[in-house]
């Protein structure tokens, strides 16, 4: 079985229908036969209306958190534990602003089944206009997550950002970066359960994905898989809303308090490894 989860906050079914259909849609030509189940975890002050609940598929389980907003990671942890209880092989964390062909899931399941060391996968991610989103990253420094937000855009800061998002890799090959976006998190549930690797609920929103993927990277491969793609609307709320920016900065501070600000041996080692791998690939023309 493969499961997935979407966290709701004052959301309507219409708003998330495309994401629901993408996961539960008709299986592709060479699809797996794994049954699917989708968890909707609702952090809203009020539950969905009965008329909306009646529209849900039998493959959807709805959980209302009694009006408590548990945050992004806390809500998805509920779904992850349900997935483990169901003995699902894989679980996908889904943002409500993505859509994709159902065959994407089949391809990821197939690759992960053949590569047991893979614990996380992210497909190629594009904007609605077809342009690429650079969502593979080095383990971030304070400049990457905080300071650059307040610096003017210059050739120097753009060069630093290009390095941070591994732009030189070309984004056309499978690679194993230590940090990736959490908009679509394809997870091996056995790795989550065996190593007790859940979201750190001290983050309310932002950076909880970086934190989890960093810990997953310690025990297996966190793979960027560009052979299939998804569409992500990506509102980048913290770039437009001061309240969201403050939340982002607060989470970044928690991240660096946990892993280290300017002295982080793991960051130095892991970042050096992925940059060396990319440079070798480029030099060999792969």
**Ordered per-residue pLDDT tens for the chain, 286 residues:** 999 999 999 988 989 999 999 999 844 444 456 789 999 999 999 999 888 888 888 899 999 999 999 999 999 999 999 999 999 999 999 999 999 998 999 999 999 999 999 999 999 999 999 999 999 999 999 988 877 776 778 888 888 899 999 999 999 999 999 999 999 999 999 999 999 999 999 999 899 999 999 999 999 999 999 999 999 987 654 455 678 888 888 999 999 999 999 899 999 999 999 999 998 888 776 6
CA distance 65 to 9: 11
Does the domain spanning 2-283 belong to CATH 3.90.550.10?
yes
Residue 268 has what pLDDT? 96
Parse the chain into domains and list their residue ranges: 2-283
Residue 235 has what pLDDT? 60
Residue 22 has what pLDDT? 93
Q: Which two tokens stand for residue 96?
A: 């409500």
Nearest to 133 by CA among 120, 123, 143: 123
Residue 186 has what pLDDT? 98
Q: Which two tokens stand for residue 103?
A: 């065959």
Residues 6+ apart with CB under 8 A from 58: none
Q: Which residues pair with 8 in a beta bridge?
A: 42
For 9, 19, 26, 246, 257, the CA distances from 96, given in Å and listed in that order, are 10, 6, 19, 22, 30
- Model pTM score: 0.91
Q: Which two tokens stand for residue 190?
A: 């056995």
């Amino acid at each position: 079985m493969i499961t997935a989860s979407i966290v709701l906050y004052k959301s309507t079914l219409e708003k998330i229908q495309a994401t629901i259909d993408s996961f539960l849609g008709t299986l592709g030509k060479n699809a797996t036969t794994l049954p699917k189940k989708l968890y909707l975890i609702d952090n809203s002050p009020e539950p969905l209306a009965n008329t909306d609940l009646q529209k849900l598929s039998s493959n959807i389980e709805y959980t209302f958190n009694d009006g408590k907003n548990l945050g992004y990671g806390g809500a998805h942890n509920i779904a992850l534990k349900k997935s483990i209880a169901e003995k699902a092989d894989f679980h996908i964390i889904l943002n409500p602003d993505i859509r994709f062909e159902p065959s994407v899931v089949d391809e990821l399941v197939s690759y992960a089944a053949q590569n047991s060391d893979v614990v996380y996968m992210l497909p190629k991610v594009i904007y609605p206009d077809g342009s690429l989103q650079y969502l593979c990253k080095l383990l971030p420094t304070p400049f990457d997550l905080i300071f650059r937000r307040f610096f003017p855009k210059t050739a120097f800061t753009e060069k630093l950002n290009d390095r941070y998002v591994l732009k030189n890799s070309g984004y056309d090959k499978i690679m194993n970066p230590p940090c990736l976006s959490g908009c679509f998190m394809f997870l091996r549930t056995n790795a989550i359960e065996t190593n007790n690797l859940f979201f750190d609920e001290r983050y309310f929103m932002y950076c909880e994905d970086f934190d989890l993927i960093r810990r997953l990277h310690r025990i297996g491969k966190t793979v960027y898989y560009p052979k299939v793609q998804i569409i992500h609307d990506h509102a980048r709320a913290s770039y437009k809303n001061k309240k969201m920016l403050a939340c982002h900065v607060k989470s970044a501070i928690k991240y660096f308090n946990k892993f280290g600000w300017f002295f982080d041996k793991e960051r130095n080692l892991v970042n050096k490894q992925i940059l060396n791998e990319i440079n070798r690939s480029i030099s060999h023309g792969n």
